[in-house]
Amino acid sequence: MDIPFGGAKGGVTVDPKHLSERELEKLTRKLVQALKDVVGPTTDIPAPDMNTSAQVMAWFFDEYSKFSGFSPAVVTGKPVNLHGSLGREAATGRGTVFATRELLRATGAGQIADKRFVIQGFGNVGAWASEIFQEQGGKVVAVSDAFGAIYNEKGLDIKALRKHIASGTALKDFPEGEAIDPGTILSIPCDVLVPAAIGNVINSDTAESIDAKYVVEAANGPTTPEGDAILRKRGITVLPDIYTNGGGVTVSFFEWVQNLQNFKWEEDEVNKRLDRVMTESFGHIWEIAQQKKLPLRTAAFVKALQSVTRAHLHRGFD
Amino acid sequence: MDIPFGGAKGGVTVDPKHLSERELEKLTRKLVQALKDVVGPTTDIPAPDMNTSAQVMAWFFDEYSKFSGFSPAVVTGKPVNLHGSLGREAATGRGTVFATRELLRATGAGQIADKRFVIQGFGNVGAWASEIFQEQGGKVVAVSDAFGAIYNEKGLDIKALRKHIASGTALKDFPEGEAIDPGTILSIPCDVLVPAAIGNVINSDTAESIDAKYVVEAANGPTTPEGDAILRKRGITVLPDIYTNGGGVTVSFFEWVQNLQNFKWEEDEVNKRLDRVMTESFGHIWEIAQQKKLPLRTAAFVKALQSVTRAHLHRGFD
Amino acid sequence: MDIPFGGAKGGVTVDPKHLSERELEKLTRKLVQALKDVVGPTTDIPAPDMNTSAQVMAWFFDEYSKFSGFSPAVVTGKPVNLHGSLGREAATGRGTVFATRELLRATGAGQIADKRFVIQGFGNVGAWASEIFQEQGGKVVAVSDAFGAIYNEKGLDIKALRKHIASGTALKDFPEGEAIDPGTILSIPCDVLVPAAIGNVINSDTAESIDAKYVVEAANGPTTPEGDAILRKRGITVLPDIYTNGGGVTVSFFEWVQNLQNFKWEEDEVNKRLDRVMTESFGHIWEIAQQKKLPLRTAAFVKALQSVTRAHLHRGFD
Amino acid sequence: MDIPFGGAKGGVTVDPKHLSERELEKLTRKLVQALKDVVGPTTDIPAPDMNTSAQVMAWFFDEYSKFSGFSPAVVTGKPVNLHGSLGREAATGRGTVFATRELLRATGAGQIADKRFVIQGFGNVGAWASEIFQEQGGKVVAVSDAFGAIYNEKGLDIKALRKHIASGTALKDFPEGEAIDPGTILSIPCDVLVPAAIGNVINSDTAESIDAKYVVEAANGPTTPEGDAILRKRGITVLPDIYTNGGGVTVSFFEWVQNLQNFKWEEDEVNKRLDRVMTESFGHIWEIAQQKKLPLRTAAFVKALQSVTRAHLHRGFD
Amino acid sequence: MDIPFGGAKGGVTVDPKHLSERELEKLTRKLVQALKDVVGPTTDIPAPDMNTSAQVMAWFFDEYSKFSGFSPAVVTGKPVNLHGSLGREAATGRGTVFATRELLRATGAGQIADKRFVIQGFGNVGAWASEIFQEQGGKVVAVSDAFGAIYNEKGLDIKALRKHIASGTALKDFPEGEAIDPGTILSIPCDVLVPAAIGNVINSDTAESIDAKYVVEAANGPTTPEGDAILRKRGITVLPDIYTNGGGVTVSFFEWVQNLQNFKWEEDEVNKRLDRVMTESFGHIWEIAQQKKLPLRTAAFVKALQSVTRAHLHRGFD
Amino acid sequence: MDIPFGGAKGGVTVDPKHLSERELEKLTRKLVQALKDVVGPTTDIPAPDMNTSAQVMAWFFDEYSKFSGFSPAVVTGKPVNLHGSLGREAATGRGTVFATRELLRATGAGQIADKRFVIQGFGNVGAWASEIFQEQGGKVVAVSDAFGAIYNEKGLDIKALRKHIASGTALKDFPEGEAIDPGTILSIPCDVLVPAAIGNVINSDTAESIDAKYVVEAANGPTTPEGDAILRKRGITVLPDIYTNGGGVTVSFFEWVQNLQNFKWEEDEVNKRLDRVMTESFGHIWEIAQQKKLPLRTAAFVKALQSVTRAHLHRGFD
């Protein structure tokens, strides 16, 4: 359901950052004219990814609707005021928190409320995850971004930190914490380490230094196979990205459903349904991991393949 | 979403009252045959207005479905037993009550329960508003229709009054109240005056005599610009028609959503959702009025234009 | 909405049991190719009946989608993992219990909790009805299948019995009950007799021997006209099949709605909505029966015809 | 391509002759509404048959076009002024003459110009065939209708005869010929006997009395199997109806082609193309008859089955 | 079939001459986006008129095809190299010559070859008519344009004159003729006067001075009702514009047919078919004029109404 | 218009020769199911190429029609008995002869009748070209295939040769000629050398030895750039493949037009229209070559680009 079209895998790449707003709009519309016969509300539904935005999705919807009539369900990640879903912005971060809660519960480690968190990355995902961890009583003791990191033993005040950043000042200059070397962020002692930035950061160089009981992968591919092996050997449980950061596409799915119904859900309803999806999925993965003695990452793949296989077998092969 | 086709703005006018049932059906079907390419569930959805009825909407749906397959969502205001919505009949009156409740709450005037109401007009809107005001503890001290008016200092028993009228007797002959000159209805002292009949009744002749704290416009255009200016000068707060009587089209929207889902909502659900729409909209209007020091009528226009403008900007202009 | 295509009324009959899985799939696909212009999500929606299964429905959906794009709503009774509805399997049995509960309540006979039940037939319908009767405190004192019957004065443990059967042993060999002659099942004394097997079992030969206050028809046509007359004369109230076993098609309808919305309801939600449908329908039938002094079977027909007639009159005849 | 809907094979039969023009129009339109999804310019194209007319085809086209837009190609046999084809009225008669010409040529019997013809039946087919035989120099020595027959050794003046009938007088009263017993028509000596009336007239009772070298079947099924056997034994060559009277459906096909092109052919063009079809088809049948030593009727079936079979084999069976 | 959209009958008028090429293209495309649901190859097919050109038609086709796939038949008057028809440019002029030829033949006046012609107007229509009159042996003794007129008793060399004008020099400076006052053009003695410029030129002021046997209306409405009455009284035969200048829309129809067939006709074929249409139509009009003793203009209207009425009666009124 | 799908440019290649007939049919049908939304009668129309056949095209048409209704125009090169075109088999060879005729005429070399031809390759193209050259009086003195070559100074009897080959004997064993070394075929003295086999045969090794006045490229790419330069230097005129062998796709276009019209052209008509296309195209190329002093190959490219460019400019770029 998810065709990112901001990047480019093969063919000529146009970097959207070098385009004027007007050029980007024109480019988007021409793309829709070319794609219009192979996307559609029941065919293939694009969503934003790197280099595209809610505005680009709005143009996509507008152009597509010229050809097929009013069709908000052709694309997700639209602006909230133009058929987007409430709760989508925070969805990946919020889903990460639900995932962590389930992990702690299942492993008998208790609740978020009595835990210490370290968050690598403070973009959309990291910032929302941090804020919601704190709302549920967790202590976010350290966060980093590309330019620095900040630490507070008693837990950072995330709302204040976000306000600080929104006002244009650097994360590392946040007064209610201590600036630290961002290179050390992964090795800060904590219960839960949340890599929420870029890929491959937990690798053969860094995995040994990690001082956490759980690694919850909010980023895409933060752990290399070598890093993964080391963590496993050291007994650190990893909640894999394929499951953990699925909150965004889940709420994209909810946005699609709302568009098909032409009826907007309240934010509470969105969050409650996201919780249900994250919780049930954790249950399936955990059960497989227990029954088959598999790491959670492998169990998640097993679950995914089971679902796809079962559907294929039922549909038949003719 | 709302194309009334009972009236006529230009072209030949056929007065539906001079047609036999059979002629009206034939006329409706021919109209649908001519309109069928420019209306549709995601294009333009007519609804009843003066001179048309649920039965006319049923014919519209039936004829349209011959061409496009089963399509109840092409038209709203259908009979409840033929894909209409529960709660639609009372929707404008009920919405008026929700609107009034929010106005009293926001202005610090308290609740409906301890207020006196005067209702001009006792058609569908006035009668339902009266009944629901009373259900919520309000005292409806006077109501009028085109032929007379009735007054009871302790509050009229609205259910009894409706039964009285339903039995074929005149409103003004209701025994549990005192017949008064309908020309005096607007000047009866009360907390909330609800014009729910025709347009232009609050004008330069009548506005000075009004003896209410609030005017809640359930009718379309009951106040002339001159009347509006007088009320403002006198400190009487006016809740504008564009917002107040939107309950009907809101439930038409709900009917459309139910038709798209092919699933009927229970009446409670309809009413609860109507409440939410009326309450949230009031909040937006009230906030603009406070921030920009505007009358509620102007604030409502500001809100409407903001919504449309934002959507247009997002969709783009190519 | 319900076109069973497992059987055959006229034309050449192919018995699906003589086909290989591969032949059955091929046959289903060719059938869809021939039917595809006259079935469809808003036209006619088949559902399984004797000799067809969830797997057959899956092929139907798969083949139809080749022609019309992704269209799960074209057929109901699909596998739960392939756009089927939670709760559909138990729906007819569960609906039977809701129906019985309403009957007992309306007749002043009290609740399921203090009643004795005899169930003829232990297929999908009978087994689920039995299990749910017991869950609600009822005593299922006897059940039969095609090969035998079992009796336990204190009530059978239905879950245990189902496990017993699932393990491949015969119903009549269930150790926690006493094997009886299945020919005597209808005459066992009880409050509620539930024929849930085949047609015509309550007839001029058997009706006199029935020793129950209520007959709740979970099977299709279990009572002949002669049997019906005897029961009426004897004062035994019959809840007719046309209403009682409607739970299955009701949840087929829910499956269709879920497919149209592309959103799956939780099982609780399905069951709650099924309860509402069964309860409201009972209310309509009961009211007609009381007002017009009619048996429930006749009242059910009156209700059905009223609904169809009203819709026809509203749609018109042109 | 040819769905006659004037008659009825099963179901309730409505005799169009008992309907008013208005009722027939209404009936036709309702029929189109019911059939519209299974007929169409590339699906199935009805044409007139007994009890229907060009006017009925016009209504069919008009009603169908309401649903599918301007679609004259949905039906053939329309009025010439409403997208019908020039030359269609005379097509079956003209085709019969082309067929006869080819038969005479192939058998070495020479040309139409030096032959004597007897025509049974003087409806559309018989009258046009007679007129065109005469135009090409043939002598039409006898013709009959349901009420009488007329004979002229030197050949009847067919144009004069048609004018005589058109003026309302009986065929048998034509002054330029001698009235004879219509029961004797088949046994009048001639080169070519053309049965152009009803079925089964050449049977075990009549076949022996035929005094012609060729029987050219312009009617549908004029010869019984017994009659056919007798003619064969007597060495009388029969040109079978399946080929001979195909001129009507051929020009229906041309009408369809003209409608698809939205361009009308001149009458000469229609007749020339009809000639080509009749001549080529005769060639195929004659060749099979010679190669396989078959009667022409059998050869015609062989040819038809070859065409259908070859197409089926090419299309495949999956 | 002919929706000119260059002009404007009501609404805001945009004069295409004040637009840049780019603005005109944009305007055309937006117009198509707005019109696309109500035009189409079998619905309504626009063609160029004043202020629009083959290029504008090309944009129309291009934009429409974005929405409906390759659809050259949506518009006529396209460039010859982009699905336009050969012969369309000269069609109105050529049709005028065919019309004149038929008129001369029917009135017994003989052939074009021995006649003298005066042509008012030397735009597309006048120039082509002049050239073809000369090709067929006619003498074009005088032609005019908006700026002057030229005369040559022996007949002008039209090809040379067109070359002269194409090179940028004024018509009145053509060396092989004598410049005359363009105000006198209508009164030059000749056999056939062809007004081919603007409307209302033959009126109560000028009709008496006309010195021709025939007036052939190549322009739209060149004769006022008063002028018409005078000509009739004077015995001058008028060939009406409604018929005479129909060559352009006729070849637009041919262009449409070629587009539907996706096959281009040769120019000879186009001209031959145009000839046939002009000749047959003249025959119908002439026959009505003779039978009913009507002027040709009235006869042309009678013929047009007959055709429309007959089609309406056949289609029916339901 | 021409998507060969027998070969493969990228992706997995399946060699059709290793498939059973049944597998090839299945593969074709699955391919159509995948392609069906991007091919179509007005979108993209495949045709056979190496490794595919008329039978494969028949399956393509059959499968596509399941989805889109009867659509013979979706693919060309179908069997003549299943909506293929008469004359298509011989079209490339026949077009080669037309092309040669025009070349001889334009260069003043006279007619085919008095010329000597050498044909390399005796597949479909070479054999038909040979036969038609001979029909028009040309002497085909030598032909070759992959296994040998044959020579007859007085001209080979091509019909006899084809019969010889059809009977299963080798070309080189044809008794009415002398077997020669196929390696010498290009250097046999003649007027016109026709390479009709594979690519790159006229190259730096062979070009000097050619002893012909004209090289007519019936094969695809028979001449390398080096070979081309040598021929030019030696004054040998080359008629380029891009033009010469276009007869096949031209008749594919005719097949498409016939399918759109649902009317079959006679073979004479096909050949006459092919002649017209080849003759007119030669005229355009020759004119450019003369005006711009270009080789015919370059002139052909200029012509092609002119046509495409003109259409693009007319359609616009928005």
pLDDT digits (tens, 9 = 90+) for C231-282: 999 999 999 999 999 999 999 999 999 999 999 999 999 999 999 999 999 9
Contacts of E33 in chain A (CB under 8 A): 66
pLDDT of residue E144 exceeding 50, the answer is yes
ipTM of the complex, rounded to two decimals: 0.86
- What mean pLDDT do residues C58-66 have? 96
- Domain assignment of residue B10, yes or no: no
Burial class (CB in 10 A: 0-12, 13-18, 19+), D246: buried
Which strands form D148-151's sheet, in the order they lie side by side?
Answer: D178-180, D148-151, D139-145, D116-120, D192-195, D214-216, D237-239
Interface residue B37 vs chain E (CB under 8 A): yes
CA dist C20 to B232, C17, C25, F35, Å?
83, 8, 9, 31
- In this predicted structure, what is the pLDDT of residue B15? 66
Q: Is pLDDT at F6 greater than 90 in this prediction?
A: no
The predicted pLDDT at position F7 comes to: 41
E198 vs A3, residue with greater confidence: E198
Q: Give E256's contacts in chain D (Cβ within 8 Å).
A: 262
d(CA F140, CA F120): 11
Question: Scanning every residue of chain C, which has its alpha carbon at the shortest distance from the alpha carbon of B30?
Answer: C318
Q: How far apart are CA A161 and CA F219, in angstroms?
A: 75
Residue C73's domain comprises 16-82
D75 and D101 housed in the same domain: no
Which residues of C fall within a CB distance of 8 Å from F33?
A: 66
Pair (D154, D33) in one structural domain: no
Q: Do B240 and B293 belong to one domain?
A: no
Residues F170 and F259 grouped into a single domain: no
Asked if residue C207 belongs to a domain, the reply is: yes
Inter-chain CB proximity E58 and F260 less than 8 Å? no
Query: D with F: how many residue pairs have Cβ under 8 Å apart?
Result: 40
The 3-state secondary structure of C282-299 reads HHHHHHHHHHHCCCHHHH
| F122: nearest Cα among F86, F164, F76, F178 | F164
Do the strands F237-239 and F214-216 form a parallel or antiparallel pair, or are they unpaired? Answer: parallel
Residue C196 lies in a domain: yes
Give the chains touching D; criterion: ≥3 Cβ pairs < 8 Å: B, C, E, F
Whether residues B104 and B207 share a domain: the answer is yes
Cα D317 from chain centre: 34
pLDDT digits 0-9 by tens, E148-166 = 999 999 999 999 999 999 9
Q: Which residues of A touch B257 (CB under 8 A)?
A: 261-263
**Start-to-end C-alpha separation, chain D:** 24
pLDDT, one tens digit per residue, over C179-205 is 999 999 999 999 999 999 999 999 999
Judge whether A67 is closer than 8 Å to chain E, CB to CB.
yes
Residue A58 has its nearest CB partner, among B42, B276, B315, at B315
pLDDT at C136 over 50: yes
Are D198 and D149 found together in one domain? yes
pLDDT value of position A32: 96
Q: What is the pLDDT of residues B170-201, one digit of tens each?
A: 999 999 999 999 999 999 999 999 999 999 99
pLDDT at E16 over 70: no
Is A26 marked active-site? Answer: no
Helices (H), A136-224: 158-166
Q: How many domains does one find in chain B?
A: 3
Q: Do F315 and E59 touch (CB under 8 A)?
A: yes
Confidence of residue C27 (pLDDT cuts 50, 70, 90): very high
- List chain B residues with pLDDT less than 70: 1-16
Residue C249's CB is within 10 A of a number of other CB atoms, namely 17
Cα distances (Å, whole numbers) of residue B73 to B84, B264, B273:
10, 12, 19
Do residue F132 and residue F262 come from a single domain?
no
Is C314 close to B70, i.e. CB distance below 8 A? no
Would the pLDDT of D5 be above 60?
A: no
Q: What is the mean pLDDT of chain B?
A: 93
Which among B55, B261, B263 has CB closest to C314? Answer: B55
Within a domain: residue A27?
yes
Residue numbers in B near E37 (CB within 8 A): 37-38
Residues belonging to chain C: 318
Closest alpha carbon to D102 in D301, D287, D298, D304: D287
CB proximity F272 to E under 8 Å: no
B153 and B125 within one domain = yes
Question: Please, which pLDDT band fits residue F36 given cuts at 50, 70 and 90?
Answer: very high
Listed residue (F86, F114, F121) closest to F100, CA to CA: F114
Least confident of C97-106, D142-151, F49-58, F178-187: F49-58
Terminal Cα-to-Cα distance of chain B (whole angstroms): 24
Q: How far, in Å, are B88, B91, B131, D131 from residue B268 at the CA level?
A: 12, 12, 17, 81
Q: Element (H or E) spanning D64, and its range? A: helix D54-68
Residue range E288-300, pLDDT digits in tens = 999 999 999 999 9
8 Å CB contact of C315 and B81: no
Boundary (domain end) residue, out of E219, E244, E269: E244
Residue D318 pLDDT > 90, yes or no?
A: no
pLDDT of the residue at C12? 47
- In angstroms, what separates the C-alpha of B260 from chain A's closest C-alpha? 7
Residue numbers in chain A where pLDDT is lower than 70: 1-16
> Is the Cβ of B70 closer than 8 Å to some Cβ of chain C?
yes
In a domain, A2, yes or no: no
pLDDT (tens digit per residue) in D80-111: 999 999 999 999 999 999 999 999 999 999 99
Q: Is there a contact between F57 and F77 (Cβ–Cβ < 8 Å)?
A: yes
Beta bridge partners of D118: D142, D193
Percent of chain F with pLDDT over 90: 90
A66 Cβ contact list (under 8 Å, min separation 6): E33, E67
Residues A126, A144: Cα–Cα separation, whole Å: 9
CATH classification of the domain holding D78: 3.40.50.10860
**pLDDT tens string B49-106:** 878 999 999 999 999 999 999 999 999 999 999 999 999 999 999 999 999 999 999 9
Q: How does residue C5 score in pLDDT terms, banded at 50, 70 and 90?
A: very low
Per-residue pLDDT at E154: 95
**Hey, what amino acid is at E18?**
H
What chain D residue is nearest to B30 in terms of C-alpha separation?
Answer: D66
Domain ends where: B223, B244, B265? B244
Residue among A9, A17, A154, A293 flagged as catalytic: A9
pLDDT at F13: 52
Neighbours of B265 (CB within 10 A): 18
The nearest alpha carbon in chain F to E58 belongs to F315
Contact D7, D50 (CB under 8 A): yes
Residues in contact with D305: Cβ distance below 8 Å, sequence separation at least 6, in sequence order: none
> Does residue B29 sit in helix, strand or coil?
helix
Write down which chains contact chain A via at least 3 CB pairs under 8 A: B, C, E, F
Two tokens at A212?
A: 């956490």
Closest CA to A127 of A151, A158, A157: A158
Is C311 in contact with B82 (Cβ distance < 8 A)? yes
Domain assignment present for C292: no
- Looking at the fold, whether A118 and A55 belong to one and the same domain comes out as no
Q: What is the pLDDT of residue E280?
A: 97
Catalogue the long-range contacts made by D122-126 (C-beta closer than 8 Å, 24 or more residues apart): D122/D165, D122/D171, D122/D196, D123/D196, D123/D197, D124/D89, D124/D92, D124/D93, D125/D92, D125/D93, D125/D96, D125/D196, D125/D218, D125/D219, D125/D245, D126/D93, D126/D194, D126/D196, D126/D197, D126/D218
Which residues of C are annotated as catalytic? 9
Q: Is residue B4 part of a domain?
A: no
- Per DSSP, what are the bridge partners of residue F144? F120, F149
Domain stops at, among E244, E265, E298? E244
Pair (A21, A117) in one structural domain: no
Q: What is the pLDDT of residue B13?
A: 52
| A317 in a structural domain | no
Residues E58 and E106 in one domain: no
Cα angle, residue C107 at apex, residues C102 and C111 outer, rounded to 5°: 55
Length of chain B: 318
Pick from B280, B218, B279: nearest CA to B90: B218
The H helix count followed by the E strand count for chain D is 10, 7
CA dist., res. E244 & res. E282, Å (int): 9
pLDDT (tens digit, 9 = 90+) per residue, E212-249? 999 999 999 999 999 999 999 999 999 999 999 999 99
Closest CA to C110 of C54, C167, C192: C192
* CA distances from residue A91 to A159, A198, A246, A250 in whole angstroms, order as listed: 17, 18, 9, 8
CB nearest to D311's CB, from F26, F55, F81: F81
Residue F42 in contact with partner chain E when CB distance is under 8 A: yes
In a 3-state reduction of DSSP, which class is residue B96? helix
**The CATH number of the domain where D130 resides is what?**
3.40.50.720
Distance between E160 CA and the closest CA of chain A, angstroms: 50
Contact A316 C70 (CB under 8 A): no
- Catalytic residue (one of B9, B17, B154, B293): B9
Across D255-283, average pLDDT: 97
Q: How confident is the model at residue E317 (pLDDT cuts 50, 70, 90)?
A: confident
- A38 contacts chain F (CB < 8 A): yes
Q: What are the tens digits of pLDDT across the range C282-303?
A: 999 999 999 999 999 999 999 9
Same domain, residue pair B187 and B230: yes
Beta-strand pair E237-239/E139-145: unpaired
